Chains A and B, each alone.
Chain A
Amino acid sequence: MTRVFITGVGVVSSIGLGREEFFRALAEGKSGISTVEAFDTANLGRQYAGEVKNFRPRDHLTAAEARRTGRCSAMTLAAARMAVEDAGLGIEQTRGPRTAVVLGTTMGEADVLEDLDHAWIKNGARGVKRALIPKYGSTLLPIHVARAVGAEGMVLTLPAACAAGNYAIGFGADLIRAGRADVVIVGASEIIQELQFSGFVRLAAMAPDRCQPFDLNRKGMLVGEGAGLLVLESEEHAVRRGTRPQAEVGGYGLSCDAYHITRPHPDAVGSIAATRDAIAYSGLTPDQVDFVNAHGTGTHANDLAESKVMRDVFGDRRVPISSVKSSIGHCMGASSAMEAISCVMTIETGIYPPTIGYETPDPECDLDVVANVPRRGKADVVLNNSLAFGGYNAVMCFARPGVLPEPRRVPLQRAAS
């Protein structure tokens, strides 16, 4: 089976556009949290989110593209352009049936639906703008990207809520390993939007102004938005065009809690299984993991579940862990893809981005949290956690090229059982 490399990344975030701006801000512990401007929050009891303020679609999209995309697709497309450029791929190299696009999201074009709905509620059926209807649907995210890069293979959306990025990356890598594609543009995107913001407030999950994962005094999550896209390539394709891989996509683990629609399983059995699978499918053992990018939403239930996973999988070895969500909030569907980019940059730079706002360790979370300042450390093998809504768990492994053993279809442990 072929190895799968990450050869380019692109990101739209509340702390910057493009890989350099994004990761520099993360490493410096910058916060992208600000008062929401997209809609009126005066009545909602919460005002803060990781809103992307400096994104102008026309800086990245053609006029025609800008006309046919909602905000979520526009961010997706911008990040895809950055990723393809970062990979040094010209359209002649991505055009054709051997390129696929697999993306994740929670709600996709939520603003388009909101416009349609509001017009309908206010003015009845006559108020609904016909031209707007075809612009709605999470199906559209990969369609727009495929058009931009000339991809003619599979175009697929995996709406796996807050684990969607990992689902997309994992399946994209599978497509290459199964020989069904040479290049797959993967990733995920999400926008903040009024109904979803209000919903999280109503679930009593939202913090007032800071997201403090693993902190004793945490007050919950903050929503954020953005897009993270990555270019996956088969080893052969990458070698043939002489590109330098940024990281290798290792194995991944999936599981479903079958417990509660919004809360993680208190015993974390599903996420433990997913973590063990991510390591096993990479042909590794837990002692080889250097750093864990936490799901780290800053809710009590999540932090506890993740701490259980760390204890169960790594035992007494305290593997450094950190949560990007302290900086940019929970970008929902986009989060694990944006965080995957952070993982790639950690592998490249050896820098673990800090968990900001970490003041009082929670004794229930006995973890080595990378607190407030970045840390340098070994970064050959990095795990990316996502424990999503619906009990959807996905844990992804990324590694420095040359570290992982020969990929296998089924891990040794499983083949033997």
Chain B
Amino acid sequence: MSTLGIGREAFFRGMQAPVLLHDAPREKMETFDASKYTNPAVAEVRGFDPAKHLGDKGLRSLDRLTKLLVVAARLGMHDAGFKKDGVYVQGSPERVGICCSNAYGSLEAITELDRVAMLEDARYINPSKFPNTVANSASGYVSIWEDIRALNVAVSDGNCGALDAFACADIYLDTGRADALLVGGAEAMSEALYLAFLKLGALEAEKPSVVRGVLLGEGAALMTMEAVEHARDRGARVSAELTGYGTAFVPPESEASLIHPSREAVERAVTSALRDAGIEPKDVDVVASSVCGLRMFDEAELDALARVFPESACVAAPKSVLGETLGAGGGMGMAAALAWFDGAPPSAIVRGDAPARVNTVLVTAIGFYGNASAVVLRKPSASPASHASS
């Protein structure tokens, strides 16, 4: 679920020749009334009609974050072959789970209820919408709508959360807690989110970065993750192999600072992800960076990458196509990698040249507070099982 459209095909098609968000014509926003803002733009999931995917019933109390995530989960369960026409045809609810990142919860729901409480009376807040204020509400609804029962883990680590979700999922799968997990992240657009970044000055690029100014985005990127043997045994189409993960936190030098773009954290996260994958920097074909147009952060990340990789290494900025989707960001970067494995040419390249073939991708995320994470993905080696069903 991204600004490129809904579903795997739409995403892969969109990644074939994506338009940089800043070059795209600005359209009227769909998620909130932005008429009071000057020339506003966000990367929305446009034309999203939840009823088309979920039916009319039971949608009224759900917020946008939940709807995005539930539809993503539904598409994921079908794409992975666990479900057909809404029914389990492989696996079982007790052995499928979800592990999903989100950074800011449902600001839409919280601000809506705050408005009622402040302007009317706290006694009038809608009890059916109150659950949406809780951070894990969206993935709780996913379990109900999709009948997923093995485990349900909500992850929050800002922009790094979606990559961390894969590290969590890896441990849960390795310890036999589930056979397959829907893993990734989701973030929904709201006026509160837009206003927060606007107030912070993050949306105006006074001094441009390698990409032009941040465009906030929204969406949900989920992947079904399972052990290689499990995927082979059930004849699943394998899109990628996750081979390494690294994370690091480096505090700012000043006690007074809170926001902290840490070059060192990125470098450590990347180095340990490569070590975890057992590969050298030269083995990486493309870095799906989290460069988004926030100059301080872009510089820290690119500096770190320059220390690890040779100058010619290809660094892409999928966020200049997909928007800064925060808690979903790492998942979007991984989805971009899957599109490249599928044959889409790496785009939005900010450093180096596009390689002839993409077999290994490093996805990076830099957090706002000194945190950073990285994941290594490999194109699956051709195996009979992976071709049989594709």
Chain A residues with Cβ below 8 Å from B274 are none
* Given contacts A158-B153, A160-B136, A273-B94, A198 and B117 within 8 Å (CB-CB): yes
Instruction: Identify which of residues 144-182 in chain A touch chain B, using a CB-to-CB cut-off of 8 Å.
Output: 146-147, 150-161, 167, 171, 174-175, 178
* Given contacts A44-B123, A270-B149, A410-B176, A139 and B199 within 8 Å (CB-CB): no
* Given contacts A158-B156, A159-B154, A117 and B369 within 8 Å (CB-CB): no
Instruction: Identify which of residues 103-123 in chain B touch chain A, using a CB-to-CB cut-off of 8 Å.
Output: 103-105, 107, 110-111, 113-115, 117-119, 121-123
* Given contacts A153-B247, A390-B134, A195 and B114 within 8 Å (CB-CB): yes
Size of the chain B interface, CB-CB below 8 angstroms: 81
* Given contacts A139-B103, A178-B171, A258 and B147 within 8 Å (CB-CB): yes
Are A391 and B175 in touch, CB under 8 angstroms? Answer: no
Q: Tell whether A91 is near chain B: CB-to-CB under 8 Å.
A: no
Bound complex: CA A159 to CA B100 (Å):
11
Are B135 and A138 in touch, CB under 8 angstroms? Answer: yes
Are B152 and A390 in touch, CB under 8 angstroms? Answer: yes
Bound complex: CA A256 to CA B142 (Å):
10
Instruction: Please choose the segment from A106-114, A225-233, A291-299, A336-344 that sits at the chain B interface, where 4 or more of its residues have CB less than 8 A away.
Output: A106-114
Q: Tell whether B385 is near chain A: CB-to-CB under 8 Å.
A: no
Bitwise interface map of B from 183 to 194 toward A, beta carbon under 8 Å scored 1, else 0: 000000000100
Q: Tell whether A134 is near chain B: CB-to-CB under 8 Å.
A: yes
Q: Tell whether A55 is near chain B: CB-to-CB under 8 Å.
A: no
Chain B residues with Cβ below 8 Å from A147 are 251, 370
Bitwise interface map of A from 179 to 197 toward B, beta carbon under 8 Å scored 1, else 0: 0000000000000001110
CB proximity of B200 to chain A, nearest CB, Å: 6
Are B140 and A392 in touch, CB under 8 angstroms? Answer: yes
Q: Tell whether B256 is near chain A: CB-to-CB under 8 Å.
A: yes
CB proximity of A269 to chain B, nearest CB, Å: 8
Bound complex: CA A143 to CA B200 (Å):
20
Chain B residues with Cβ below 8 Å from A120 are 111, 192, 195
Are A409 and B125 in touch, CB under 8 angstroms? Answer: no
Are B122 and A159 in touch, CB under 8 angstroms? Answer: no
B252 — nearest CB in chain A belongs to which residue? A147
The total of Cβ contacts below 8 Å across the A-B interface reads 238
Q: Tell whether B137 is near chain A: CB-to-CB under 8 Å.
A: yes
B145 — nearest CB in chain A belongs to which residue? A258
Bound complex: CA A269 to CA B202 (Å):
47
Chain B residues with Cβ below 8 Å from A152 are 248-250, 268
Bound complex: CA A120 to CA B158 (Å):
23
Q: Tell whether A45 is near chain B: CB-to-CB under 8 Å.
A: yes
Bound complex: CA A113 to CA B111 (Å):
9
Size of the chain A interface, CB-CB below 8 angstroms: 84
Are B149 and A256 in touch, CB under 8 angstroms? Answer: yes
Q: Tell whether B324 is near chain A: CB-to-CB under 8 Å.
A: no
Are B152 and A256 in touch, CB under 8 angstroms? Answer: yes
Chain A residues with Cβ below 8 Å from B200 are 130, 133-134
Chain A residues with Cβ below 8 Å from B247 are 153-155
Chain B residues with Cβ below 8 Å from A62 are 255
Are A43 and B161 in touch, CB under 8 angstroms? Answer: no
Q: Tell whether B150 is near chain A: CB-to-CB under 8 Å.
A: yes
Bitwise interface map of A from 377 to 410 toward B, beta carbon under 8 Å scored 1, else 0: 0000000000001111000000000000000011
Bound complex: CA A146 to CA B93 (Å):
37
CB proximity of A415 to chain B, nearest CB, Å: 7
Chain B residues with Cβ below 8 Å from A255 are 149-151
Q: Tell whether A266 is near chain B: CB-to-CB under 8 Å.
A: no
Are B156 and A167 in touch, CB under 8 angstroms? Answer: no
Q: Which 7 A-B pairs have the closest CB atoms?
A: A390-B140, A159-B135, A199-B130, A410-B176, A256-B152, A64-B255, A198-B122
Task: List 18 additional contacts besides A106-B136, A136-B196, A259-B144; criterion CB under 8 Å.
Answer: A67-B256, A68-B256, A106-B134, A113-B110, A117-B192, A125-B198, A134-B258, A138-B156, A152-B249, A157-B155, A158-B154, A159-B134, A160-B152, A195-B113, A254-B153, A255-B149, A255-B151, A258-B144
Q: Which residues of B contact A (CB under 8 A)?
A: 36, 93-94, 97-98, 103-105, 107, 110-111, 113-115, 117-119, 121-123, 125-127, 130-131, 133-137, 139-141, 143-144, 146-158, 161, 164, 167-168, 171-172, 174-177, 192, 195-196, 198-201, 247-251, 255-256, 258-259, 268, 272, 367-371
Q: Which residues of A contact B (CB under 8 A)?
A: 43-45, 62, 64-65, 67-68, 97, 105-108, 113-114, 116-118, 120-122, 125, 128, 130, 133-140, 143, 146-147, 150-161, 167, 171, 174-175, 178, 194-196, 198-204, 254-262, 270, 273, 277, 281, 389-392, 409-411, 414-415
6 pairs, A vs B, C-beta closer than 8 Å = A140-B369, A154-B167, A199-B127, A256-B150, A260-B144, A390-B143
